């Protein structure tokens, strides 16, 4: 009875195959961690930008140039509705992430669509406010206060616009490719970005609108 002896030549392909799997897995982990690190660095740079804009508004926020004051301009009821829209969009995005972890593509997509609708509603109210202010002659060039207001709130609005576009692209990617590792990473990055915008808006609402009207 003859026995079969495994030679190094017969063992080599399997060893190489296992090595390639481990190497590929480590490469994906390094890529994922690198992407998340890069995104956190981006959020930190955004924090610096908004920090500067808040600081500028703190300096010039009382300089009305004999023009209208915040109490004469802002409709807090409208701003409160916009605020709740953005806050609810953050909650619905959280539900979308939970459905992603449950591997429920359909449920996640529904919650992402709801999030996008809330984002569009927020942008619609912001555009309405800007149009009203410009129509009554309270544009960015009217005073230092209004200049800083339009820059700060407008910058946040541009970020929400970018986030909404990103959300639409992500929904399309999920529809085409499903819950791949790359798409899940993109969902988590966008989730961080969206929650970050919510935190910035809470600062805008408190510091610009409430403080401007009540103080």
Higher pLDDT, 118 or 37: 118
Percent of the chain at pLDDT > 70 equals 83
Instruction: Determine contact, residues 194/160, Cβ cutoff 8 Å.
Output: no
* 10 contacts: CB under 8 Å, gap ≥ 6: none
Q: For the chain, what is the radius of gyration of the CA atoms?
A: 25
Instruction: Determine contact, residues 168/119, Cβ cutoff 8 Å.
Output: no
In the predicted model, what is the mean pLDDT of residues 97-124? 97
pLDDT of residue 117: 98
Check pLDDT > 70 for residue 200.
yes
Q: At 91, is the pLDDT very low, low, confident or very high (cuts 50, 70, 90)?
A: very high
Check pLDDT > 70 for residue 18.
no
Higher pLDDT, 116 or 34: 116
Higher pLDDT, 2 or 176: 176
pLDDT digits 0-9 by tens, 176-194: 999 999 999 999 999 999 9
Q: At 13, is the pLDDT very low, low, confident or very high (cuts 50, 70, 90)?
A: low
pLDDT of residue 31: 54
Instruction: Determine contact, residues 93/111, Cβ cutoff 8 Å.
Output: yes
Q: By CB neighbour count within 10 A (0-12 exposed, 13-18 middle, 19+ buried), where does 87 fall?
A: middle
Query: Which superfamily, per CATH, for 44-53+84-215?
Result: Cytochrome c oxidase, subunit III, four-helix bundle (1.20.120.80)
């Amino acid at each position: 009875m003859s026995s079969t002896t495994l030679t190094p030549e017969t063992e080599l392909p399997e060893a190489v195959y296992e090595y390639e799997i481990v190497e590929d897995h480590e490469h994906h982990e390094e890529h994922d961690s690198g992407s998340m690190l890069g995104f956190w660095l981006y959020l930190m740079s955004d924090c610096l930008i908004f920090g500067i804009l808040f600081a500028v508004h703190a300096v010039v926020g009382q300089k009305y140039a004999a023009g209208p004051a915040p109490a004469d301009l802002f409709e807090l009821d409208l701003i409160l509705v916009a605020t709740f829209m953005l806050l609810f969009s953050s909650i619905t995005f959280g539900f979308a992430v939970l459905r992603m972890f449950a591997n429920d593509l359909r449920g996640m997509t529904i919650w992402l669509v709801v999030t996008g609708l809330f984002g569009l509603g927020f942008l619609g109210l912001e555009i309405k406010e800007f149009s009203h202010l410009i129509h009554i002659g309270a544009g960015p060039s009217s005073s230092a206060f209004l200049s800083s207001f339009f820059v700060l709130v407008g910058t946040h609005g541009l970020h929400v616009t970018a986030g909404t576009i990103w959300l639409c692209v992500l929904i399309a990617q999920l529809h085409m490719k499903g819950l791949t590792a790359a798409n899940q990473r993109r969902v988590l990055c966008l989730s961080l970005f969206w929650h970050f915008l919510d935190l910035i808006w809470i600062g805008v609402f408190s510091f610009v609108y409430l403080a401007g009207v009540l103080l």
